[in-house]
Amino acid sequence: MKGLLVKDFKILMNQKKFMIMFVFVAIVLSFSMDSSFIVSYISMIGTILTLSTISFDYQDEGYSFLMTLPIRRGDYAIGKYAFTVLGLACFWGVSIVLQFASFFIQGHEFDLAETLLADICLLPLFIFVAAVLIPIEIKFSPEKVRVVMFLFFGIVLVIAMGGKALLGTLQDKTGIEFVSKLEALDSVNPLPLIMGVFAISVIMLAVSMIISIRIMEKREF
């Protein structure tokens, strides 16, 4: 497992040009934009960067050789989840440091607990992205991954638009203001809700990992 993590880290370090550009944009953004955007931007790009190691493994039939190294097939999948979670934690941590640096330098007043809570609330989103993308990237070739991701996000968009239309129709028929009902959640203690969302995202990640392990075990190289 250690070898897999070192390999993935080396792949990240080999994307120096992209990393430098990414860090530069992150610093510029942190001093010019909404602070919550910085956290989501850095964490999202960081998650995608860590996931890109899968397509690097795919290049030049790399999987065949990787599977001859001293790991079990399932270890490869587990290693990807470990690396993604570690990567997300690092990028998210860095983004928070930048966010607070930006607050101090610009002299903005902020509520520490509220800001941190908002940052923590972003994590399940990235865990969800990783849970969806890792099995897709492991299952398909990079060319097919693009098609599958396009289809996936297309379906998500259709569901979102369909849901919005449905909500509008229900609102018209029943006369209940759903949006104002949701606003009532502001007065509810957010902690159980956040913990619930976290628990769901962790369960999703665990299920995703089981699927990825099965994909690797059935695969021929």
Partner 1 sequence: MVRLNNLQKEYKGFKLDITMDIPEGRVTGLIGRNGAGKTTTLKAILGLIEPTSGEIEVLGKKPREFTAEDKKQIGTALSSSGFNLIFTVKDVIAILKGFYKDFNEEDFRNKCRQQELPFDKPIKDFSTGMRAKLRVLVAMSHSAKLLILDEPTAGLDVIARNDVLNIIRTYLEEDSSRSVIISSHISTDLEGLCDDIYMINGGKIILHEDTDTLLGKYGLVKVSREEYEALDKKYIIGTKEESFSVTCLTSEKQFYAENYPKAVVENAHIDDIIVLILGGEK
- Give 67 or 149: the residue with its C-beta nearer to partner 1: 67
Site string for partner 1, 37-76 (x = CB under 8 A): -------------------xx-xxxxxxx-xxxxxx--x-
Kindly state the smallest distance separating residue 84's Cβ from partner 1, in Å. Answer: 18
- Give 12 or 26: the residue with its C-beta nearer to partner 1: 12
Single residue of 14, 106, 169, 171 touching partner 1 by CB under 8 A: 14
- Give 59 or 187: the residue with its C-beta nearer to partner 1: 59
Check binding of 198 to partner 1 (CB under 8 A).
no
Q: CA-to-CA distance for 151 and 159, rounded, in angstroms? A: 12
- Give 5 or 45: the residue with its C-beta nearer to partner 1: 5
Single residue of 11, 49, 77, 216 touching partner 1 by CB under 8 A: 11
Nearest to 90 by CA among 12, 14, 197: 12
- Give 6 or 23: the residue with its C-beta nearer to partner 1: 6
- Give 40 or 52: the residue with its C-beta nearer to partner 1: 52
Contacts with partner 1 by CB under 8 A: the residue count is 27
Judged by CB under 8 A, which stretch of 6-14, 43-51, 99-107, 194-202 contacts partner 1? 6-14
HEC assignment per residue over the chain: CHHHHHHHHHHHHCCHHHHHHHHHHHHHHHCCCCHHHHHHHHHHHHHHHHHHHHHHHHHHHHHHHHCCCCCCHHHHHHHHHHHHHHHHHHHHHHHHHHHHHHHHHHCCCCCHHHHHHHHHHHHHHHHHHHHHHHHHHHHCCHHHHHHHHHHHHHHHHHHHHHHHHHHHHHHHHHCCCHHHHHHHHHHCCHHHHHHHHHHHHHHHHHHHHHHHHHHHHHCCC
Using CB under 8 A, which residues numbered 75 to 134 contact partner 1?
75
Nearest to 99 by CA among 25, 30, 195: 30
Residues binding partner 1 (CB under 8 A): 2-7, 10-11, 14, 56-57, 59-65, 67-72, 75, 220-221
